[in-house]
Amino acid sequence: MHNEEITQGVKCVVNSCHYYKSGDLCTAGKIEILPRDASTAEETDCGTFKSMK
């Protein structure tokens, strides 16, 4: 799901993502963070990431 509305409260610095918007903003309609069993921030990933390519 993609729109041009900003996902409030989400900061994204991955400028190679389809949902990235200038100013470190995210335009994905929803986000998924994984894996379920992560115990630190370093172990997490954005499952919503979609390459601009």
Q: Which helix (H) or strand (E) holds 46?
A: strand 45-46
For the stretch 37-46, pLDDT in tens is 999 999 999 9
For the stretch 5-31, pLDDT in tens is 999 999 999 999 999 999 999 999 999
The angle at the Cα of 48, spanning 43 to 51, to the nearest 5 degrees, equals 105
Which pLDDT score, from 0 to 100, does residue 1 have? 52
CB atoms inside a 10 Å sphere around CB 12 = 20
